[in-house]
Structure 1
Amino acid sequence: MQSFNDLWDAAANRKGGAEALEALLPPPTPRDALEETQDSRLLSAMSRRVFQAGFNWSVVDKKWPDHEAAFNDFNINHCAFLSDEDLDALTRDPRVVRHFKKIQSVRDNANLLVALAREHGSAARFIAATPDEEYIALLDYFEKNGSRLGGVTLQIFLRDIGKDGFILSKDVLTALQRERVITGKGTSKRERHAAQEAFNTWRAQSQRPFAHISRILAFTV
C-alpha cells in the first residue's frame, strides 16, 4: 500500500499540480454544526438520496420542495406515525415520486431517527459522536436498522450532512484494489474493515479528513 504522500503526488500530477488539487477538495464541516442539525433535516437528506437511487437525480431535486410539503417538512414524529393509509395516499400524490417502497422507507427511517433521538438527544448527536475511525461501524448500524440505505446511498447522505467519511465509489474501489487493500467489490465485512484500516492509516499520515483522502484516492485512477 502506497503512502499518502505518494497518492497525493499521483493525484496532483493528474489534476495539474498541488494547488489545483487542493482546490478540488471539499471543506470539512465542523462537528458542532452537525450536532446542531435538526433531525428533520437528516430525514429529508436521507430520503432525498433514497429517492434518487436508481432514478434521475435532477428530477428528484426539482420535485424536492413538493416532497417537503407532502411529508410535513420531514418532521420525524409526523413521519414515524404515518399510517398505511397515509402511505397509500402518498403513492397517489402527484407531488411525490410514486415508488411505494421508497415512500415506506420514510416512515421506517423516521422511526429509527426517533429511537436515536430518544436515546442520544438527537440522531445528529449520535452520528456526530461516532468516531471517524469507526465509520464502517456507523454504516453497518444504519444499513442494519434503516431502510433502503445500502450501497453508496448512505455514504453520500452522510457526506451531505457533514459527517466525515469516505465514499466507496467505483474509482475509490479501483484504487483500493490497486493498493491491494481489497480484492473484491468492498462489500464483505472483511473488505469493508480493511478499507477502514487503510483510510485510518492514510489519515494518520496526512492529518486530513476522510473526505479529502477519498477524493484524492479517486483522482489517482
Structure 2
Amino acid sequence: MSECSWPGNSEMMKKYHDNEWCIPSHDDTYIFEMLTLEGAQSGLSWSIVLSKREDYRKAFKNFDIEYCSKLSDEALEKIREDYNVVKNLLKLKSVRNNAIEIIKIQSEFGSFSNYLWKYVDFKPLINNWESEASMPAQDSISEQISKDLKKRNFKFVGPVTMYSFMQAIGMVDDHKRTCPFHSLNR
C-alpha cells in the first residue's frame, strides 16, 4: 500500500493527513474551524495555514462560533496585529461574518453539520482514485454548496475552497485507493 504523497516529508501535514483529512465530522465547532482555515488558504498553501492553526485557535477562542460572531472591527484588527494568522483583513472579517451566518443556519437546520451533510445524504462520498492527479479541484456538489453559501452571505466559499472543505470535514474521502487511510482500508 502506498499513502497519499501530498503531505510530503512534513510531520505537520502527515499528522493532518493521517488523523483528520477525509474523516467525517459533524461537530459544528470543528466544521467552523475548517471553513475558516480553508478560506484563509485561498491563494496560499495549506502548509502555511496549518502552521498558523494554533494561533487561529487562540485568536478565535477555539473557534467559538458565538464569540466570533460578536468580534468588533477593533478586535479583528488586534488579532491581525497580535497573532500569527493570515493578515488579510477581508479573510479575518469573514470569520465574524461566517459565524453570524452559521448561527442563522443552526437556527434553521438544527446544526451547521445538518445543513452541509444533507448535500451528500448524510454519508461520505468514497472515491477510488488510482492517483492524486485524478482528484478534481471541485465538483458539482462543491459548486452547489458554494452557490448556496454565497446566497446566504458567506465569504471565501468558492467551489474549489468548498471541495477542499468537504475533504477536510470528511464529506468526501479522496485518499488514493492504495492509501492505508482510505475508508475501505481502515
> What's the CA shift string for 1:17-73, capped at 9, x where partnerless?
xx98xx86x9x968xx54xx2211111101111111112332221111111111001
Q: Does 1:152 align with 2:163?
A: no
- 1:137 corresponds to: 144
- 1:68 corresponds to: 57
Q: In the alignment, is the contact (CA less than 8 A) between 1:67 and 1:95 conserved in 2?
A: yes
Q: In the alignment, is the contact (CA less than 8 A) between 2:34 and 2:168 conserved in 1?
A: yes
Note the C-alpha offset of 1:137: 2.8
3-state secondary structure, aligned to 2:52 = helix
Counterpart selection for 1:41 from 30, 52, 60: 30
What is the correspondence of 1:12-161 to structure 2 with a 5 Å cutoff? 33-34=24-25, 37-131=26-120, 135=141, 136-145=143-152, 146-161=154-169
- 1:9 corresponds to: none
3-state secondary structure, aligned to 2:48 = helix
Alignment partners' CA distance in 1, 2:90 and 2:146? 21
Overall identity of the aligned pairs, in %: 27
Note the C-alpha offset of 1:115: 0.9
Alignment partners' CA distance in 1, 2:64 and 2:45? 25
Q: In the alignment, is the contact (CA less than 8 A) between 2:146 and 2:162 conserved in 1?
A: yes
Change (3 A) 1:131 1:55: closer
Q: Write the letter of the residue equivalent to 2:67.
A: H
The structure showing larger relative contact order (alpha-carbon pairs under 8 Å, at least 6 residues apart) is 2
Q: In the alignment, is the contact (CA less than 8 A) between 1:70 and 1:95 conserved in 2?
A: no
What number of residue pairs does the alignment pair up? Answer: 144
Q: In the alignment, is the contact (CA less than 8 A) between 1:72 and 1:78 conserved in 2?
A: yes
> Which stretches in structure 2 are left out of the alignment for 5+ residues?
5-16, 126-139, 178-186
Alignment partners' CA distance in 1, 2:149 and 2:22? 21
Note the C-alpha offset of 1:151: 4.0
Alignment partners' CA distance in 2, 1:112 and 1:54? 23
Q: In the alignment, is the contact (CA less than 8 A) between 1:139 and 1:155 conserved in 2?
A: no
Alignment partners' CA distance in 2, 1:53 and 1:138? 17
Kindly name which structure, 1 or 2, has the bigger radius of gyration based on alpha carbons.
1
Q: Write the letter of the residue equivalent to 1:143.
A: K
